[in-house]
Chains A and B, each alone.
Chain A
Amino acid sequence: MDRLIFLTLDGLSRGAVYAAFALALVLIWRAARVVNFAQGAMAVAAAYVAYSVTAATGSYWLGFLAALAAGLLLGAVVDRVVMRHVNHASPLNPVIVALELVLLIQAVLGMIYGSQFRPAEVPFSRSAFTVGGLTVLSPYDLFVFAAVGVVVSALAWIFARTAVGLRMRAAAFAPEVSRLLGVNVGGMLTLGWALASGVGALAAMLVIPTELGLHPHAMDLVFVSAFTAAVVGGLDSPPGAVVGGLAVGLLLSYVSGYAGSDLTPLAVLVLLLAVLLVRPGGLFSTVAARRV
């Protein structure tokens, strides 16, 4: 029983990060109809910026802010310099270009930092409190929950309550009409990429210290897990991404706790296939007509 509670809490903490990362994927999918396969590599690049800043200044928080800023900037640059110019007539093209970006970013990171694992700092202790003999969350887990909670609510507020959010939704939903009504559609798209990439950078900052450490490939498996989370929730639904993220986190925690951590990649693949084959639109989808 103790173990179950521990694994549940641990899974929720892991799931919160997947939720944030999945949310970033959903943001770009909704805005540009592109699954950003370069998201993991972009987030790792931001985490390396944090590593450099922290190493130079000695302050975790300066590094943290630098990572978020780098994430926002990288998202905008990727949209403006690369994605904007890709021919979207075939859905394969943006995927291929995103994968090329993965190669490029990982190669550049490898050239600058080398490919050994670097330890990532944490701002709070990762040793868990014990309450009445039960091992529960660590301060770091609470920090993860708080950070993800703040970001998710902030995004919800931006999209539901602000004029910019309304413009972004309009630009994604009906680009032509929005353009006629004076919305800067291109700008909104760039903003969407920047926001998503910033959220991805945050997720990388939160998840990398809990895994092996900083490495150009550190987010590969996290990306697949987050993609699974986004698919579980239906690629179109931000609340679905959050729920999907928590569900994937729980599943992975149980699998690694009860069956061995070697099996977690396999569990992700099985879950992804199962969801796609049984409910391709995700668990939260409404019935959608296939476009002919």
Chain B
Amino acid sequence: MSATRAVAPPQESPVGAAGRPGAPRRRGGTLLRHLAVAVVAGLLLVGVSYAVEPFRNFQLATVAAYLCAVAGLTVLTGLNGQLSLGHGALMATGAYTVALCQNAFYDRGLTGGWLLPVSLAAAVVATVAVGAVVGVAAARLRGPYLAGVTLAVAIVVPALAVTFDGVFNGEQGLSVPVEPPPLALGPYFPYERWQLWVAGAATLLALVLLANLVGSRYGRTFRAVRDDEVAARLAGIHVARTQVLAFVVSAATAGLGGALLAVLAQSVSPGAFSMTLSLFLLMAVVIGGLGRLAGAVWGAVLLVALPDLSHSVTELFTLSPAAAQRLEGNLPLAIFGTTLIVVMIVAPGGVQGLLSRLGRAVLARWRARRS
């Protein structure tokens, strides 16, 4: 019984306080600040991409792809209070759209640097369409019902790839042909670095847009609907419309994340978008702290780092190959599951919640010492 509610991060001002008369509105300032952070992060990423080996570049690119989806989900679940277990399926939608687009382009013999952005945009559009359908249904559902429906979506959509194997090529999946890095970057430009640049740029763009949305009037209505639907309705907020909007935004980022994953792996198959992926995304959101965009970074890093870590751990022991294989796939899941249950019970604010609490405590002590 550590906190009053897990979904409401404690430091946020209550609904309406942000709009009180006399409070300065810093909309332009917010946009500039987010852009500045994004530019710094982008420069940092470019620096890192030259400093580390290609495999780490690829891993960072994967983190970026996951981050996209996790950030969208944290807005939906943490800020709007809608629990979606179907984001793995939305990622699959984006991934398959990108695969179909790229294949269509290459079958027609088209080449050029503009293909990938067009395919990614198509993936976002397709996922937005699917997300709107699910979101309209979701806006009428609450709590466990919504979780159940989205769980069904997460299980059913990958199965569709097998049902309609004429288009999606069943369990085998599709390959995603991707252009090599542009020649302007030099003939020996590592492919993994290019992947990190593409994924990083797309994700930073999505994050800036999300951060602005969260800080805007819409972000406030999201939170108002989450905290008290009746009060939000009395305040003139169209609850259903807000919920559908939140779902669509979150679907768009999930689609982009899935599309990036497909581009990175250069293939898509239903196995990559199982129910476990949907659970993973939710868990990444929880571990970072529900509703915290900065927390999404922790979650996404963990999603990529844990399998790697457990691989190193299993190598410490001498095990039979079969046992090692069993451990390797499942140990990260077990650690993840246990950690999360503890996080959920002990620290519902997640990692980012702990960090900001720590930061505030340090700041308070520092101020107390100065005065």
Shortest Cβ gap from B144 to chain A (Å): 4
Shortest Cβ gap from A186 to chain B (Å): 15
Shortest Cβ gap from A270 to chain B (Å): 9
CB <8 Å contact, B341 and A99: no
Chain A residues with CB under 8 A of B1: 87
| Other-chain residue from B7, B155, B279, B322 in contact with A99 (beta carbon distance below 8 A) | B279
Known A92-B81, A263-B163: A107·B155 in contact at CB below 8 Å? no
Report the Cα distance A103→B331, complex, angstroms: 11
Known A35-B148, A104-B338, A227-B148: A95·B143 in contact at CB below 8 Å? yes
**Is A57 positioned at the interface, with any CB of B under 8 Å from its CB?**
no
| Other-chain residue from B81, B333, B344 in contact with A110 (beta carbon distance below 8 A) | B333
CB <8 Å contact, A87 and B6: yes
CB <8 Å contact, A272 and B152: yes
Chain A residues with CB under 8 A of B77: 92
Chain B residues with CB under 8 A of A223: 151
Report the Cα distance A273→B134, complex, angstroms: 10
**Is B327 positioned at the interface, with any CB of A under 8 Å from its CB?**
yes
| Other-chain residue from B5, B151, B286, B340 in contact with A224 (beta carbon distance below 8 A) | B151
Query: Contact mask A249-277 → B, CB, 8 Å, 1/0?
Result: 00000000000001101101100110011
Report the Cα distance A95→B279, complex, angstroms: 11
Chain A residues with CB under 8 A of B345: 82, 85-87, 97
Known A103-B336, A220-B155, A268-B156: A280·B147 in contact at CB below 8 Å? no
CB <8 Å contact, B141 and A90: no
CB <8 Å contact, A104 and B148: no
Chain A residues with CB under 8 A of B155: 220-221, 224, 265
The total of interchain contacts (Cβ-Cβ below 8 angstroms) comes to 159
Report the Cα distance A99→B286, complex, angstroms: 11
CB <8 Å contact, A108 and B143: no
CB <8 Å contact, B326 and A111: yes
Interface residues of B in 126-141 (CB under 8 A from A): 137, 140-141
Report the Cα distance A220→B141, complex, angstroms: 22
**Is B3 positioned at the interface, with any CB of A under 8 Å from its CB?**
yes
**Is A37 positioned at the interface, with any CB of B under 8 Å from its CB?**
yes
| Other-chain residue from A86, A228, A265, A280 in contact with B344 (beta carbon distance below 8 A) | A86
Known A111-B327, A262-B162: A35·B144 in contact at CB below 8 Å? yes
CB <8 Å contact, B147 and A111: no
Residue ID in chain A nearest B153 by CB atoms: A269
Report the Cα distance A114→B50, complex, angstroms: 40
CB <8 Å contact, B348 and A93: yes
| Other-chain residue from A87, A92, A262 in contact with B143 (beta carbon distance below 8 A) | A92
Chain B residues with a Cβ under 8 A of chain A? 1-7, 77, 81, 83, 85, 137, 140-145, 147-149, 151-153, 155-156, 159-160, 162-163, 230, 275-276, 279, 282-283, 286, 290, 322, 325-327, 329-334, 336-338, 340-341, 344-345, 348
Chosen A-B contacts, 6 in total, with CB atoms closer than 8 Å, are A37-B147, A89-B6, A102-B337, A107-B336, A110-B326, A276-B145
